[in-house]
Amino acid sequence: MIQRYTRPEMANIWTEENKLNKWLDIEIAALEGWNKIGIIPTSALKNIKKHVRLDVEKIHNIEKKTGHDVIAFVEQISETAGKYGYYLHYGLTSSDILDTSLALQLRDAGNLLLKDIADFLKTLREKSLAYKDTVMMGRTHGIHAEPLTFGFKLAGWYFEFLRHSKRMTFAIQEINVGKISGAVGTFSNVDPRVEEYVCKKFSLEREMFSTQIISRDRHAFFLSVVGMIAASCEKVALQIRLLQQSELSEVAEPFGRGQKGSSAMPHKRNPILSERICGLARIIKKNVSVAMDNIALWHERDISHSSAERIVFPDSTILLDYIITLLHRIIKDMDVFEKNMNKNIDANKKVFFSQMLLNTLVMKGVSRKYAYELVQKKSFESIYDNKDFFLLVKQDAEIQKYLTEEEIDDIFDINYLLRNLKSMFEKLQ
């Protein structure tokens, strides 16, 4: 992943050095397991732990000859481990190391993402309560529907990311699995007690039945959750973009001192942060399909998944870490233009009371079909002739047959439309 969209803490999880150190940790843990059951002498174990050293550059140089990264790794650490170096990788296959270490990396990445979400949730809750009474127009299909509040919109996002927190927690549990079970998972050359020891040491669950690898349905599920979270980030960012349009101008993402919006037009304040989130989310979502494709492998394993996983897991988690924190910044520091929200409501000419009027007429015994046609006619007249819907209704002789002036006045009460929001916001307390 390019540096521009990479935060240091997540980047460190996916460094080559961190990966190889985890490989070494697992190799040593396997030796400890062998020692525990009496296969490898304690003196040999102590000697290896004292002398073994990791040399990343040398591993890469060896790999140029071997064409196999794990063999290069084992060769290099064995050379440094002293006279007992031959015990390293005893009874193991490459995927014992690769898949178990990948689980550790994905667990670390998932936990960092959980922290990102938790921080974001605090701000979403705070902002939702701050704007719980800030009335704005609700829109469906991009068209004025009925009023809601900006806090209500934010609360919807809050509960969406709260669900994502639960999903990520479960996804981490699903991926938190190791295997030290040998070439096809049958423990033909490794004792199951070694796997038990290694997994316990790293707080991993044991794969119930592995082949040469841990089944990729676990990895696909993890990345699917990452993809869903990215899609929700895109959803929120898209709404910010829409609300920042000149014709609405109800919300604007932060715009720093000295920032420029356009090289040609000084007046521009473009929602570039939100647009960036939308673009990067597309990459993450596409990566999910790669993880799905990796489930189906030949027999007990092929390596068609391997090269792809070297890209999709680091890139997806790095990008999600970036866009969540960027979205968090947007929501925390955004400008909210309540006057423009009120202006846009006023521009509606009270047409958003159409459903209230329809329902009231129906309760008066008017057929729904006729009542709908009657209200629609007046609504369109208000919209396209730029007339106040309330006045049109009060002046309509046909409507006056069914409703008194006082009943019409009662219909056009915005507080009534919003009456249930108070109890809904109690869910945030």
How far is the C-alpha of 229 from the C-alpha of 219, rounded, in Å?
Answer: 16
Residue 141 bears catalytic tag: yes
Which candidate in 141, 246, 299, 423 is catalytic? 141
Three state DSSP letters for the chain: CCHHHCCHHHHHHCCHHHHHHHHHHHHHHHHHHHHHCCCCCHHHHHHHHHHCCCCHHHHHHHHHHHCCHHHHHHHHHHHHCHHHHHHCCCCCCHHHHHHHHHHHHHHHHHHHHHHHHHHHHHHHHHHHHHCCCCEEEEEECCEEEEEEEHHHHHHHHHHHHHHHHHHHHHHHHHHCEECCCCCCCCCCCCCHHHHHHHHHHCCCEECCCCCCCCCCHHHHHHHHHHHHHHHHHHHHHHHHHHHHCCCCCCEECCCCCCCCCCCCCCCCCCCHHHHHHHHHHHHHHHHHHHHHHCCCCCCCCCCHHHHHHHHHHHHHHHHHHHHHHHHHHHHHHCEECHHHHHHHHHHCCCHHHHHHHHHHHHHCCCCHHHHHHHHHHHHHHHHHHCCCHHHHHHHCHHHHCCCCHHHHHHHCCHHHHCCCHHHHHHHHC
Distances (CA, A) of 235 to 174, 318, 424: 26, 19, 22
Which candidate in 203, 262, 304, 367 is catalytic? 262
How far is the C-alpha of 153 from the C-alpha of 156, rounded, in Å?
Answer: 5
**Do the beta carbons of residue 71 and residue 60 sit within 8 Å?**
no
How far is the C-alpha of 154 from the C-alpha of 148, rounded, in Å?
Answer: 11
How far is the C-alpha of 181 from the C-alpha of 195, rounded, in Å?
Answer: 7
3-state percent breakdown (helix, strand, coil) of the chain, nearest 5: 70, 5, 25
Residue 246 bears catalytic tag: no
- Residues belonging to the active site: 141, 262
